Amino acid sequence: MLQSTSALLLVASLLAALPVNADGLYAKKSGVLQLDQKGYNKLIAHSNYSSIVEFYAPWCGHCQNLKPAYEKAAKNLDGLAKVAAVNCDDDANKPFCGQMGIQGFPTLKIVTPSKKPGKPRVEDYQGPRTAKGIVDAVVDKIPNHVKRVTDKNLDEWLAEDEESPKAILFTEKGTTSALIRAVGIEFLGSIRVAQIRNMEVEAVEKFGVTEFPSLVLLPGNGQDPVIYDGELKKGPIIEFLSQAASPNPDPAPTKAKASEKPKPSEPSESEATTEGSPKPLVPVKAPLSAPAIETLATAEALEAACLAPKSGTCVLAFLPQSGEPDVEIAGHAKDALESLAEVSHKHVQRKTKLFPLYNIPAGNTASKTLRAELGLSEDTQTVDIVALNARRGWWRQYDPSAGADYGVTRIEAWIDAIRLGEGSRNKLPEGVIVTKEEFEKKAEHDEL
């Protein structure tokens, strides 16, 4: 028994050592899209559809248990939403899974397009790990571009963008089905879709509708309306509507390179700012535009943000004492602040969650006390970066190494390790955290 288990383990580890996606959980025909970061950006982040994405590791038992339900969800959501999976055990995907804040497997995230292309809303799915639970939650998030009209405003809607094609669903329902929402998404930007209820008699008579549901296409350019009489399924409906306009290609075709060229003023600006550094021009966006991290100038602000009994993880950069304000924020402290700003900005851009990062100037009266309590160097000429979590009672310090490295790469790796719960932590000394009573007293005062 033992022997066969270890033999199995051996086989498993040999399989795990195979390169690329050979060891992913999902087969192509499962309906679950297997994605890497590039695929995610293209097919999920830039989609007009909602998606659910599972971040998993093939060896994880809960992931294997989820597989049948997830595949079933993929079948039921076919054509309505995207169902995808990212294998976080694949080395190539590890940085991506880290960026997405994945801390355990499986993690399911629902991704919904926002107004800004490529910047979707991402939220954790915490519901039951059943096909129905997943399907219901995702259907709920399918964007609705279908306009609900009545006899009163039908003419107004028809007059909007008069020449372009439109489709109207006549229905007995007051809700907008997943199917018609999907149709709206498919033709977003080309065919406007509306729905109208059976009791809106003028409209029903105007288009000679006798059955519900009925779909009517107004092809535009003065052509007569056409009533659809095919199957009420997405494929045939799309085909029918395609006589008026083409559905959106997915993924969207990459734009001509010319439109991506930076404006003439930009290159010189970036050259000036990255002067002397051999940074390539491509990943230039973060360093150039990263806004500074927030400063907590007073003891109260620091307590409220990070030292209250329920405060979550905070990263604090204790700045060195300086004679002349501003002038001396140079050297390591400046590097540290810039690196932290850059890391924070990256997360904002990717819409991934990150705990807050704060700048604690030496003038903050709590700075010296907290430094002493944590046993940080008395030498306030250095910058010290610590992470602490009041609720869980731990803290840890950034180690810049012998080379005093406050560059973004090292700091980002440190922050990522905290996000992934890696590395050792120290117990927060007593007295650092404000007690509940003290805190509530303060909160009361704050109300005035």
Q: How far is the CB of 119 from ligand NAG (least distance, A)?
A: 13
- Binding segment for ligand NAG (CB under 6 A), chosen from 19-27, 28-36, 246-254, 285-293, is 246-254
Say whether residue 248 binds ligand NAG (CB under 6 A).
Answer: yes
What do you get for the CA distance between the two ends of the chain, in Å? 70
Q: How far is the CB of 110 from ligand NAG (least distance, A)?
A: 18
Binding mask 251-270 for ligand NAG (x = CB under 6 A): xx------------------
State which residue, 248 or 322, has the beta carbon closest to ligand NAG.
248
Q: How far is the CB of 164 from ligand NAG (least distance, A)?
A: 13
Closest CA to 112 of 55, 45, 54: 45
Q: Which of 68, 104, 189, 262 binds ligand NAG (CB under 6 A)?
A: 189
State which residue, 48 or 112, has the beta carbon closest to ligand NAG.
48
Binding mask 138-177 for ligand NAG (x = CB under 6 A): ----------------------------------------
For ligand NAG, which residue has the nearest CB? 189
Q: How far is the CB of 46 from ligand NAG (least distance, A)?
A: 6
State which residue, 80 or 354, has the beta carbon closest to ligand NAG.
80
Considering CB under 6 A, how many residues would be counted as binding ligand NAG? Answer: 9
Q: Which of 23, 136, 151, 250 binds ligand NAG (CB under 6 A)?
A: 250
Binding mask 40-79 for ligand NAG (x = CB under 6 A): ------xxx-------------------------------
Q: How far is the CB of 3 from ligand NAG (least distance, A)?
A: 53
State which residue, 42 or 368, has the beta carbon closest to ligand NAG.
42
Q: Which residues bind ligand NAG (CB under 6 A)?
A: 46-48, 188-189, 248, 250-252
